[in-house]
Amino acid sequence: MTARTHPDDRGLAAVARVRGVRETDSRIGLQRMLMEESAVRGRLSSLESSVAAIEPAGTVPVGELVAQRTALAGAAVLIGETRDAVATAEVVSAEARARWASDRSRLAAVEHLLERRAARRRTEADRREACEADDLAAQRWQRGAR
């Protein structure tokens, strides 16, 4: 959009500014959600790798075996909760992506209308110029014919 708005387009330009702000807000929201989703995925990966790193107990005292099993049970619960958080983050990210795409297309539609109006005004100005040039040429020809 141009810095200077035609007087006929002031209302539509205001709509474009509002939609531009909405598009920016939804893009920022999407970026934040994608970062959050990535963080939750990283936490899940870390939990799963820490559980995978636990060595199976060979000949260890019973108390240590019970502690290890308790830690594994707690880790399993935490992994389950984190997987649920990943699923939720995926849904929210998809919704944020859809919102941003919608806002972006609405902004593009208004900008397209503004461009079409500007192109129509340029075409009309070119026609007027051509008509004036034809009139001037006709007047010169008439003066020369006398």
Amino acid at 115: E
Count of domains observed in the chain? 1
Q: Where are the beta strands (DSSP E) in 9-137?
A: none
15 within some domain:
yes
Round to whole Å and give the CA distance between 63 and 51: 19
Residue 138 maps to a domain:
no
Q: What's the pLDDT score for residue 126? A: 94
- Would residue 1 count as lying in a domain? no
Whether residue 121 is contained in a domain is answered as: no
* Close Cβ partners of 54 (under 8 Å, ≥ 6 residues apart): 68, 71, 72
The per-residue pLDDT for range 59-84, each reduced to its tens digit, is 778 788 788 888 888 889 999 999 99
Between helices 62-145 and 10-52, what is the axis angle to 10°? 160
Q: How far apart are CA 94 and CA 91, in angstroms?
A: 5
Provide the pLDDT for residue 61. Answer: 81
Classify residue 71: in a domain, yes or no: yes
Give the range of the structural domain holding residue 81, as residue numbers without chain letter: 8-107
pLDDT for 3: 57
Strands (E), the chain: none
- pTM, two decimals, is 0.73
CA dihedral (106, 109, 114, 120) in degrees, to 10, reads -170
Does some domain include residue 46? Answer: yes
DSSP letters spanning 87-115: HHHHHHHHHHHHHHHHHHHHHHHHHHHHH
14 lies in some domain: yes
CA trace torsion 23, 24, 28, 31 (10° rounding):
60
Residue stretches of the chain with pLDDT short of 70: 1-3, 55-58, 146
What does the pLDDT read at residue 2? Answer: 47
Residue 132 within any structural domain of the chain: no
